[in-house]
A and B are shown apart, each in its own frame.
Chain A
Amino acid sequence: MSRSALVGLALLLGVAPLLSGIAARTKARLTGRRGAPLLQLYWDLARLRRKGVVYSRTTTWVFRLAPIVLVATAALAACLVPLDGRRALVSFSGDFVAFAYLLALGRFFLVLAALDTGSSFEGMGASREVTVAAFAEPALFLAFIALVLATGSLSLGGALGAPLTQAWPTAVPALAMVTASLFLVLLAEGSRVPVDDPATHLELTMIHEVMVLDHSGPDFALILYGGALKLALFGALLVGAVVPRAGLAPGLGLAVLVLGLLGVAVLVGIVESVTARLRLSRVPQFLTAASALAALAVILLLVR
């Protein structure tokens, strides 16, 4: 267990709420507005933490447990990513399955919490959430397979660590496609445009937001934080895949991670300002494109 990996985890946990602020600021600037403060989500979290809660009479313990499971699974998944670019806190053969399935466990509980309220709106959001996830999951796994094939390492810690530095020069097209695919998955998993819109105001058009309508107070703070952490996690995967940092000093690696995350947030903001949201029935096609990109990368790596 290295110190820089622990520092990396702390950095990721701390910086996660900043990303949505940066994306919103980018979007505001590009559309000629001033925008909310960058630290808005931190203030929101602090405010929600102090509040009381309102529970629906329909709900059971699942509803109260779900936000905790969401944050716990995302935090554990973060331990599997080599945040300093060298090694992860926890690394084992096939750990990317654990990464994806831990996040899936969080999603499972969030969806159950939505169904626990008995609200038709939240049921609708939950239904859309699992649909999007069902199309995003193969793309994510295909991207992982490509990374495994490119580096010969079966763990995230290896596939995004030192072996990737040697892999990039030999497999530029494939790894570029993997990167693109991971970015599309990030947009879907992070509930961003063009799959979902965090700024929409109509419940009928929401996916993630409508699923958590009934949560309030500290519970809602956990859900907001869990969502931010998930976006940061996929951002860290992306940064890890694009910028192999095994050669850098640990401190520099961490600095690159933070800068990279901020860059990803800016990119998300740009995407949100230049594209419209897709019709819901088009989302599967969008994510199938992500799968196809990653599958092409896998084929390229298999035949080389």
Chain B
Amino acid sequence: MALFFTGIAAIVLGGLARVALSPRPRLASGAFALLVGTGCLVAALPAVHVLAGGTVAAARVSAAVPGGDWVFGVDPLSAFFLLVVLGVGAASALYGVRYLAAQASHGPVGVSHLLMALEIAALALVVTARSGVPFLMAWEIMAVLAYFLVVFESQHAEVRRAGLIYLVGTHTGTLALIALFASWGQRAGALSFDALAAASPALPVGGALVFALGLAGFGFKAGLVPLHFWLPGAHGAAPSHVSALMSGVVIKMGIYGLLRLVSLAGPPPVWWGWLVLGLGLASGVLGVLWALAQHDLKRLLAYHSVENIGIILLGLGIGALGARYDAPLVAVLGFAGAVLHTLNHALFKSLLFLGAGAVLRATGTRLMDRLGGLARRMPITWATFLIGSIAIVGLPPLNGFVSEWVVYQSLLRSAGIAPARAAVFAVAGLALIGALALACFAKAGGAVFLGQPRTTLAQEGGEVERGLLAPMVALALACIVIGVAPVVAVTPALHVAAAIGGVARGSADQAAAAVGPALQWISLTAIALAALVGAGWWLHERLLRRRPRAWAETWGCGYAHPEPRMQYTAASFAAPLIVAYGRAAGVHVTREPGAFHTHPKDHVLDGIALPLWTRMRTWALAARPIQQGRLWMYLLYLLGALLALLLYLALRAG
């Protein structure tokens, strides 16, 4: 663990150096990039060691607070998430160096970098904490730092509002987690994870309370429907590299929490497995449907995080059912699909957010219907965005296909468990999610990068600098590597999954044997696809080399003066699907002669959460008269409370 803490210290030091040296920005940025980069590398070494089959001794700190010693350790589950945190964290932080440099006049850049470094450190501590108190402390530090990172551009009212809603959401979730550890710790007598795990068989009603509180608390962080309402606003409003970290990593802490809960409390109850499966389906379908309705590129990406959390939960839910019904293969494949999709989503979603950041930097707008034609001006951004799009839609030959395929495997094999066989219907749900995601990314990529510039904003944009492109290219390469050689990611994921499920020894090997040949074929298919397309391109160019290639206007069916304004807009592109889904799509449509507007609404935020808060405000106002600020009144309250307690004791004794 010494190596791990050294790395974390270097990351924090990098953040501090950025602030201390801020009078000399170039030196400060260099020191920040160097220290954070090396820190992430060093802290990742123990994780790699554990995933390769080694072990790392836990670190124990005697703390003079209730709840026992603070323990930190790295097991396969921690190691897997640690790699996600450090990999995507490093890419986001390094992107931020150049990204924020242009905004030095808009906010406290140095402090934002420091917060970023601290956030990565807090995330790393969340996944390595082995007892309740340090876990909750790291969790809160992570949540609060994320708030300050989100409200970087606090001069905009919209950003402040999104930040506030995020803060309310995350704290409601933490409340459930405190209740979780309190009720569990009461049974266990201590808050170390080992003690909690030992006490889990004694939990009442099969741990129903613990599982329910965990789902609520971690569900808020993960952003599953209907607890997602804080997510689109916050991820849309944050600076793009912060959005990348939040969508890629921070919400995955909710997934980590759920997996950790399962690993500590044993196979979850049947209802929990079905509930997670159902929530996964709802998050997946509704998330992508709501994404389709968005006009703002970053909000669209944020809703896709809800969708992908849904896909992860499908794996988690079927894994839980498999564990409960003693079907180790289904359990391992389900959990493996969940952790693998966590990794893949972290890669392609942060890539897409960084791409959106590049677009925002180049053009100054996130509204898709004001963009267009950026493929010519920003070729590298477009290429990486396209790779991210293919990956997130789950198409071969990239990494998204691999993890969705593993989830499909687990869902299909659930047909073999008699009581859980109805879960095969989730396969059709996943297919629907995939098809809708294709529509959504065709819309996003097409509206932003293809066609002609719709406004002058898009005409002025040019390719962003290398400091921004490098992290994007690195993430895109990672997507390709996992897509072409899936075995490098699937094998560790299977071992992590076997450790979570607490299933019999060797079930990871059994699962590896079950999917091994298929993974080789997937590799071969990816390579064959690349080869076929490459050969096709070569033949195509050869065939056309000596032919006339005429360049003309786009065919307008006889109309000779096409104009950029006449292009199909992103809103129109999505309209048939939005209309087909009716109210579920959550879009308010206004039609006027010659105009068609769609206004996306969030069913939960606008329909439930905000009205509820307004109601709570009136209740709170009604209760205000009891606070008069006069001393005698408070003494009276004390006296009244004392009398009531005495009365209670007297009645109980009698």
Contacts and interface: CB of A to CB of B under 8 A. Distances in A.
A76 B529 contact: yes
Contacts of A56: 551-555
B395 A101 contact: yes
Interface in B352-378: 372-373, 375-376
Interface in B554-583: 554-557, 562, 564, 566-568, 572-577, 579-580
Given A104-B393, A105-B390, A115-B442, A131 B568 contact: no
A255 interface: no
A193 interface: no
Given A58-B554, A72-B536, A141-B428, A118 B373 contact: yes
Majority-rule SS of A interface residues:
helix
Contact of B450 (A94, A97, A118, A127): A118
Contacts of B553: 56-57
A111 B442 contact: yes
A119 B564 CA distance: 9
Nearest to B541: A64
A100 interface: yes
A105 B395 contact: yes
Interface stretch (B209-217, B417-425, B499-507): B417-425
A169 interface: no
B428 A93 contact: no
B517 interface: yes
Interface in B421-437: 421-422, 424-425, 427-432, 434-436
Nearest to A116: B450
Contacts of A154: 409, 412-413
B439 interface: yes
Contacts of A97: 404-405, 408
B543 interface: yes
A75 interface: yes
Interface stretch (B21-29, B65-73, B518-526): B518-526
B550 interface: yes
Contacts of A102: 395-396, 525, 529
A121 B436 contact: no
B548 interface: yes
B150 to A, nearest CB: 32
A134 B288 CA distance: 12
Interface in A90-123: 90-95, 97-98, 100-102, 104-105, 107-108, 111-112, 115-123
Contact of B533 (A68, A98, A136): A68
Contacts of B579: 281
B428 A138 contact: yes
B555 A93 contact: no
B117 to A, nearest CB: 38
Max count, chain B CB within 10 A of own CB: residue among A95, A127, A203, A281: A127
B547 interface: yes
A197 B566 CA distance: 25
Interface in A61-92: 62, 64-65, 68-69, 71-73, 75-76, 90-92
Contact of A95 (B432, B521, B566): B521
Contacts of B637: none
Contacts of A121: 556-557
Nearest to A80: B525
B401 interface: yes
A65 B533 contact: yes
Given A58-B451, A93-B514, A123-B573, A98 B405 contact: yes
Given A121-B556, A134-B432, 8 more contacts: A55-B552, A57-B554, A102-B396, A102-B529, A108-B438, A119-B555, A130-B435, A154-B413
Interface of B: 372-373, 375-376, 386, 390, 393-396, 401, 404-405, 408-409, 412-413, 415, 421-422, 424-425, 427-432, 434-436, 438-439, 441-442, 445-447, 450-452, 514-515, 517-518, 521-522, 524-525, 528-529, 532-533, 536-537, 540, 543-544, 547-557, 562, 564, 566-568, 572-577, 579-580
Interface of A: 49, 51-60, 62, 64-65, 68-69, 71-73, 75-76, 90-95, 97-98, 100-102, 104-105, 107-108, 111-112, 115-124, 126-128, 130-131, 133-138, 140-142, 144-145, 148-149, 154, 203, 213-214, 217-219, 280-281, 284, 291, 295, 298, 302
6 contacts: A64-B540, A72-B536, A101-B396, A115-B568, A133-B435, A138-B428
Listed from nearest, the 4 A-B pairs whose CB atoms lie closest are A123-B568, A115-B446, A118-B451, A68-B536
